[in-house]
């Protein structure tokens, strides 16, 4: 299988940099997998699943919104607002964030407030899903 160079970055850190044999990200219309040799593209990423295959093994993390670029030399760059491995996720914090977001959702008084709360709830549920603690898969 063709390998490609993958970089996963957040504003705070270089989450991953190295070879990969596959990458699955969440686009607005669903999951999308990239293999080596993919045509150049850019895409907006939604909060959700982000998996990448290195050393023949898929690794899953919780990713927030961002974007993806496949460059003409095959290099793939993912830039997301936040990204955590399962062992970095604080379940208590994610549950508290989910509760706060649900309360804000039900009392939203503007579309902007509603959207912010919806995305915050998605981030929290995604973290719980990656940690295996969510019914919302």
- Residues lying near ligand ATP in the complex (CB under 6 A): 12, 64, 82, 84, 88-90, 93-94, 97, 120, 123, 127
Residue (25 or 120) nearer to ligand ATP, CB: 120
Of 45 and 94, CB closest to ligand ATP: 94
Q: Give the sheet arrangement for strand 22-27, strand by strand.
A: 30-34, 22-27, 48-54, 57-63, 83-85
Q: Is 34:50 a contact under the CB 8 Å cutoff?
A: no
Helix, coil or strand: residue 121: helix
For 18-110, where are the alpha helices, taking DSSP H only? 91-106
CB of 39 to ligand ATP, least distance (A): 31
- In the bound state with ligand ATP, the residue whose beta carbon lies nearer, of 127 and 129, is 127
Nearer to ligand ATP (CB atom), residue 23 or residue 84? 84
CB of 37 to ligand ATP, least distance (A): 31
Provide, for the chain, the percentages of residues in helix, strand and coil under a 3-state DSSP scheme, each rounded to the nearest 5.
30, 40, 30
In the complex, the smallest distance separating the C-beta of residue 23 from ligand ATP, rounded to whole angstroms, is 19
Distance CA 47, CA 88 (A): 17
User: Least distance in Å: CB of 45 to ligand ATP?
Assistant: 14
């Amino acid at each position: 299988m063709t390998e490609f160079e993958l970089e996963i970055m957040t504003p705070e850190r270089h989450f991953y940099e190295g070879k990969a044999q596959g990458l699955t990200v969440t686009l607005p219309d669903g999951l999308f997998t990239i293999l080596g040799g993919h045509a150049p593209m850019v895409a907006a990423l939604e909060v959700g699943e982000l998996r990448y295959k290195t050393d023949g093994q898929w690794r899953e993390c919780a990713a927030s919104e961002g974007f993806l670029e496949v460059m003409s030399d095959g290099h793939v760059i993912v830039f997301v607002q936040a990204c955590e491995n399962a062992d970095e996720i604080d379940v208590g914090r994610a549950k508290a964030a989910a509760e706060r977001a649900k309360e804000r959702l039900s009392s939203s008084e503007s579309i902007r407030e509603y959207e912010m709360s919806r995305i915050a709830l998605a981030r929290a549920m995604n973290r719980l899903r990656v940690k295996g603690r969510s019914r919302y898969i």
